[in-house]
Amino acid sequence: MNETIPSNDGNLSDRLSRILWELRQPLDMSRVKRRQAPGMGSVPYLEGYDVIDRANSIFGFTWSFDLIGDPVIVRWQKKVLIWNQQEKRKVPALDANGNVQTEEVGLVYITGKVSVDLDGKTYSHADLGRCVFTGDTPEALDMALAGSATDCLKRCFRQLGEQFGNLLYDKEIAQNAGLDQNRSNGTSSTAISTSKANSMPPTTSIVRKYGDGVSVNGNVSEQEAFDQFKEKTGRVPASKDELRNWLASQRATPTPASVAA
């Protein structure tokens, strides 16, 4: 792209021109990560802290994120499914008396809006964030609330285009976005495709456990936080408490939005 980079002085017109120029730039694919999605294989996404950092860089902290109303929490009982090697499919788990085992799952919805100051005028966009969780513990709900707020923040910013991952919703681009990260870690996209074709269903491919042996809950927010901790420290968190404390320390630097990274 041969477009001239606008100046970055204090003039409001120049500032707006630079912001618009930044928003028109193609997304740096090294920012894109991938995660497992139930029934969908792996999908690309931008991490919450990355979206906040990019927003600060483009808008210079002249933005805010506000929740609209109270969170909506829905809970229900779900059958526990296990993989049956003989039948090559998932079947309901039974207890000692032959009864089908169930577990409590839930879904948190949060509505929020992002407001950005552009040339003395305020641009606002509202959207809905959601996060699934498993279990009836306060920790599971806490992680889901944080995850749905982060999802809401990212969905609001997505309306501003490529820099905030809007093109990741293009099905053709989504197939390969973020795979370069796997290549840099010594795994080629060809190897990934081959392993998927020859493996069991994707839901059984990744098992996350804390150092104390407790499994990671099924909500996306906790999975992302767990993977981020492992990537940055080179080990798994000793416990869920250590992961929460680490997340709190990552959010210690003031940001315009009080959401989970």
Helix (H/G/I), strand (E/B), else coil: 163: helix
Residues contacting 126, CB < 8 A, separation 6+: 68, 111, 112, 113, 156
Per-residue pLDDT at 195:
39
What does the CA dihedral 62, 45, 222, 74 come to, rounded to 10 degrees? 90
Q: What is the pLDDT of residues 136-165, one digit of tens each?
A: 899 999 999 999 999 999 999 999 999 999
Determine the Cα–Cα distance for residues 163 and 23; give it in Å rounded to an integer. 6
Percent of the chain with pLDDT over 70: 77
- pLDDT value at residue 259: 43
Instruction: For residues 32 and 58, give the distance between their C-alpha atoms in angstroms, rounded to a whole number.
Output: 18
- For the stretch 120-141, pLDDT in tens is 889 999 999 999 999 889 999 9
The DSSP bridge partners found for residue 53 are none
Task: Express each pLDDT in 227-246 by its tens digit.
Answer: 888 888 889 888 888 887 87
Q: Superfamily assignment of 12-250 in CATH?
A: DNA repair protein Rad52/59/22 (3.30.390.80)
Strand 72-79 with 33-37, pairing: unpaired
Q: Could you state, in order of their start, the residue ranges of all structural domains in the chain?
A: 12-250
CB 11 within 8 A of CB 22: no
Does residue 104 register a pLDDT over 70? yes
The CA distances from residue 260 to 57, 174, 249, in Å, are 19, 24, 11
Question: What is the sign of the dihedral through the CA atoms of 230, 235, 236 and 238?
Answer: negative
What pLDDT does residue 126 have? 96
C-alpha distance across the termini of the chain, in Å? 32
**pLDDT tops 70 at residue 20:** yes
Q: What pLDDT shows up at residue 257?
A: 42
In DSSP notation, 63-77 reads: EEEEE-S--EEEEEE
Q: Give the C-alpha separation, 17 to 150, whole Å.
A: 28
Give the pLDDT of residue 105. Answer: 93
Residue type at 124 in one-letter notation: S
State if pTM tops 0.85. Answer: no
Average pLDDT for residues 195-211, to the nearest whole number?
Answer: 53
Amino acid sitting at position 150: T
- Give the confidence band of 48 by pLDDT, cuts at 50, 70, 90: very high
The residues with which 94 forms a beta bridge, in sequence order, are: 100
Mean pLDDT of the chain: 81
